[in-house]
Structure 1
Amino acid sequence: MDAPFRSPRVLQGADCARMPPVPTLPRWIARTLQPLPLAPLQLPLALALRSVVARHPYIFERLDVHAYKRFGLQPTDLPFGLVLAPHPKMPSLIAVRSLPAGLPIRIAGPLLGLIGLIDGSYDGDALFFSRDLVVEGDVEAVLALRNAIDDAGVDLVADTAALFGPLAPSGERLLGGALLQLKGAALATKREEAR
């Protein structure tokens, strides 16, 4: 039986003030990626989504009526967006140069913040109230998606590394290391900007 949706926890001003801003990727990464075609991203995105769904088969069924909506995800520090269609029988995640008009849901924020929402390293309420995350459109659908991800216990690195089969532990170290390098680069950029 599905658990009921949780209502968002209301943060007090002091809670938001204590949360450090989400680091953004260095601008050179976006400039480097800007001219590259998006087609090579489609297969890894499809495989990663398939791996997450294989490890958490009921994740999108928990969305109920919201499973048939499309979610626009806009990493504000990358030159492309993602469109998630969480249909329980045929979910898809595709990269687009810009989010199409008419999407019922748009979620924008730094890439590391969006990843942190999935793996639980960032609190969605705190990101929203600190304005590191911007949500437009159907907020109920966004809460349903967040609750489905939280309830499933998605570990983006481990779930994606499962694609490597028996080499999953090596894949997890590789993906985890790449994510740590991105975070390191983003934090270094934050320190440079603060000077």
Structure 2
Amino acid sequence: MTTRPLPPLLLRLPLPAPAASLIGLSFSAFLRRIAGRKPSILSRLGRYESALILIDVGDGPLILLMQPSTRRITAHARDGAEPEHYAAIRGELAAFLAMLHGSEDGDALFFSGELEISGDTSVVQALRNALDDAELDLTEELALMAGPLSRWLRRFAAMAETRTGYALIRRELF
């Protein structure tokens, strides 16, 4: 099992409901932008495109609910009841980022217990395959939106990755 960095203090603070709503709207806008740039992500989900997928970043204050077909992510306070969902993926932020950016194999993270899935596991498998195929780089996606600040954002992400241990830039395993 890989040693994971501790989450930043900001991730461990509770958020008021208005902040959770604003974060959900921001994530939805980001998801729509990525889906527009990489439509194969949604088509790769096939029959699971309308599934409700719970994303529980255990060391964060929010639980996310994603519905790919509507390109919508809602954020829910951790202290409330879990929203209804078809499948869930749970883990710490470091494990999610490592899988998403390709620095660690998603299957290895599941088998080691760093990421857990529940509900309809075929939904999560389809999502993981779609994300793997898309070869997402969240820093690069944000940089594309940052205009003249993109160069600074890329440098900051590289520095933050080195200092925090979080996988913030896309890496290939092989």
Q: TM-score, normalised by structure 2?
A: 0.80
Q: Specify the alignment match of 2:126 in structure 1.
A: 144
RMSD over aligned CA atoms reads 2.3
TM-superposition CA deviations, 1:103-157 (whole Å, max 9, x none): 1111110011112211111211111111111100111111111111111111111
Q: Which of 159, 165, 178 is equivalent to 2:147?
A: 165
Q: Which moved more, 1:125-134 or 1:34-43?
A: 34-43
Structure 1 position 160, deviation (Å): 2.3
Is residue 2:73 matched to residue 1:93?
yes
In 2, Cα distance between equivalents of 1:47 and 1:176: 24
% identity of equivalent residues: 31
Match of 2:171 in 1: none
Are the equivalent residues in 1 in contact too, given 2:15–2:61 (CA < 8 A)?
Answer: no
Report what 1:22 is aligned to: 4
User: Given residue 96 of structure 1, which amino acid in structure 2 is its aligned partner?
Assistant: H
Size of the aligned set, in residue pairs, is 162
What is the letter of the counterpart of residue 105 of structure 1? A
1:177-192 aligned within 5 A: 177-183=159-165
Checking the alignment, whether the CA contact within 8 Å between 2:49 and 2:67 is kept in structure 1 is yes
Give the secondary structure class of the aligned counterpart of 1:161.
helix
Structure index of larger Rg? 1
Distance 1:63 1:20 in 2: 29
Q: How does 1:1-195 map to 2 (within 5 A)?
A: 19-25=1-7, 28-31=9-12, 33-36=13-16, 37-87=19-69, 90-98=70-78, 100-183=82-165
Q: Which has the higher contact order (CA 8 A, sep 6+)?
A: 1
Q: TM-score, normalised by structure 1?
A: 0.72
Residue 153 to residue 86, structure 1, CA distance change in 2 (3 Å): same
Compared with structure 1, are the counterparts of its residues 127 and 75 closer, same or farther at alpha carbon in structure 2 (3 Å cutoff)? same
By how many angstroms is 1:178 displaced?
Answer: 4.3
| Counterparts of 1:148 and 1:71, CA distance in 2 | 14
- Contact kept, 8 Å, 1:51 with 1:160, in 2: the verdict is no
Secondary structure in 2 aligned to 1:38? Answer: helix
Report the CA distance shift for 1:178/1:96 in structure 2 as closer, same or farther (over 3 A).
farther
What is the distance in 2 between the residues matched to 1:30 and 1:150? 26
Match of 1:131, SS state, is coil
Aligned to 1:173, what secondary structure does the other structure show?
helix
**Distance in 2 (alpha carbons) for counterparts of 1:60 and 1:176:** 29
Evaluate the alpha carbon distance shift between residue 64 and residue 82 of structure 1 in structure 2; reply closer, same or farther with a 3 A threshold: same
- Where structure 1 has 5 or more consecutive residues not aligned to the other structure, the ranges are 1-18, 185-195
- 1:94 maps to amino acid: T
Is this contact kept in 2: 1:51–1:163, CA < 8 A? Answer: no
SS at match of 1:59: helix
